[in-house]
Chains A and B, each alone.
Chain A
Amino acid sequence: MAAVSFPPPPTIVDAPAPSSSKQSAFSAAVSPLANAYNRFSSWRASLGLPGPGTVENLGKEAKQALATNFLLDGARADMTKVLSVEPAFQVTHSFQLASQSMPSSYNLATVFATQDTFMQGNVDNEGNVTMRFNKGWSPSHTSKVQGQFSTTPGHNMLQLEHDYLGSDYSLNAKAINLSPTDGTGMYVGSYLQSVTKNLAIGSEVLYQNAGPGMADFSTSWLAKLSASDKSWIGTAQVQAMGILQASYWHKLSEKVEAAAELQLIAAPSRRDAIATVGAKYDLRMSQLRAQIDSTGKVGMVLEQKIAPTFMFTISGELDHFKNAAKIGVGVMIESSSLTPEEMGMVPQPGSVPL
């Protein structure tokens, strides 16, 4: 880093003489601290560090480019009804069947979103409900509630979360399944700070209190290295137990992204590692993701847009060493009760009947 000179301390104009000598003693004691703080914060602002993004989104670019989270198993149909655009209101009915690992299911999802509020609810055919509620108080403060309510006891979850985005750092606090009567629950605090224009480092502290005498602390360290023009991003997370997660994402061109992920467990009881390499192509009417990992699994997902409201997905995964395969097909139909004008779309010239 280049040598940075401290800017001259900002001149502090003293308020008209304080009435009592006690107050002036107090301000005399505090002013060096306030002065130092002012100098520190103006020095910090002069560095012009970028916001590092949130800890939750660390490695998100790589996850979006890899096929792992987009693989389908069996057949799936999603029917989305867009009922309003501003504010956004959608109802989605989705059906899933013929999966190798999960029974057939039906899912109803509703989403309502305005500029600062986001509400989502999801219910499946067994009556399990998941909910999400986000509220943005200001551009830098966001509160989130996430819940899962199940008909089988013991599967309920409630997570309260608050995000704060500073100019060059981000803070996040989470409380999961907290109980106000005995203090049990899981608490997570994380902090990510930009150190230079390209490097951000941070830490995540997890405190788990499962009952008297069963409290547990664990810390993990995070780092994010990115190019000045955001054309590539590398992230790493090291946990105290000897778990390393690293990701690398590179935008090769407007339409091609490549990504790699490494997960390494080096605990005394278990040593394991898995690496995944993949690419994503954004074509005019389709998106193609392909990947291969170190266990010999080859996966591919093709999302083909046949019409603006109709998308067809085909996915496959081949495990050569276990001689297993998984394939999936999906259709997504989006219907709307709105006219194109109401949705804020200009009708395409080609679709005008002559």
Chain B
Amino acid sequence: MPSEETKERIIRAIDIGRTVLHYGWIPFVIYIGYTRSNPQPSLIKLMSPLA
């Protein structure tokens, strides 16, 4: 059984991981898509709904 301190640390680590995924997942997918696309699109075309 892990000690209280370790438990608290694990909970905090999960919280941080969740926050990172919450704010980072969409930018991460866009970044991966943007760099791996063939041919690479221009940034304005990527973000604006009308371009």
A96 vs chain B, min Cβ distance (A): 14
Asked if B18 and A156 make an inter-chain contact with CB atoms under 8 angstroms apart, the answer reads yes
Q: Name B's interface SS.
A: helix
Asked if A149 and B22 make an inter-chain contact with CB atoms under 8 angstroms apart, the answer reads yes
**Cα separation A84 to B40 with both chains bound (whole Å):** 8
Closest B residue by C-beta to A122: B26
**Cα separation A342 to B7 with both chains bound (whole Å):** 53
Asked if A120 and B7 make an inter-chain contact with CB atoms under 8 angstroms apart, the answer reads no
Asked if B25 and A129 make an inter-chain contact with CB atoms under 8 angstroms apart, the answer reads yes
Q: On chain B, which size bracket covers the interface?
A: 20 to 34
B10 vs chain A, min Cβ distance (A): 5
Asked if B25 and A83 make an inter-chain contact with CB atoms under 8 angstroms apart, the answer reads no
The proximity string for B residues 14-41 relative to A, scoring 1 for CB distances below 8 Å and 0 otherwise, is 1000100111011011101110111101
**Cα separation A156 to B46 with both chains bound (whole Å):** 29
Total A-B residue contacts, Cβ distance less than 8 Å:
76
Closest B residue by C-beta to A109: B26
Asked if A91 and B38 make an inter-chain contact with CB atoms under 8 angstroms apart, the answer reads no
Whether a CB of chain B sits under 8 angstroms from the CB of A93 is yes
**Cα separation A91 to B47 with both chains bound (whole Å):** 8
A76 vs chain B, min Cβ distance (A): 14
**Chain A residues positioned under 8 Å from B32 (CB to CB):** 112, 119
B1 vs chain A, min Cβ distance (A): 10
A117 vs chain B, min Cβ distance (A): 9
Asked if A87 and B36 make an inter-chain contact with CB atoms under 8 angstroms apart, the answer reads yes
**Chain B residues positioned under 8 Å from A337 (CB to CB):** 41-42, 45
A84's contact among B7, B22, B28, B38, by CB below 8 Å, is which? Answer: B38
A-B contact pairs, 20 of them (CB 8 A): A83-B34, A83-B41, A86-B38, A87-B33, A87-B38, A89-B34, A110-B33, A111-B29, A112-B33, A112-B36, A119-B29, A123-B26, A129-B21, A131-B21, A149-B21, A158-B18, A181-B7, A181-B10, A337-B41, A342-B39
A interface residues with partner B (beta carbon < 8 Å): 79, 81, 83-84, 86-87, 89, 91, 93, 108, 110-112, 114, 119-123, 129, 131, 147, 149, 156, 158, 179-181, 337-338, 342
Q: A81-B46, A112-B29 are in contact. List 20 more A-B contacts (CB 8 A).
A: A81-B49, A83-B34, A83-B37, A84-B33, A84-B36, A84-B37, A84-B39, A86-B38, A87-B33, A87-B36, A89-B36, A110-B29, A111-B29, A122-B26, A129-B23, A131-B21, A131-B25, A149-B25, A156-B18, A158-B18
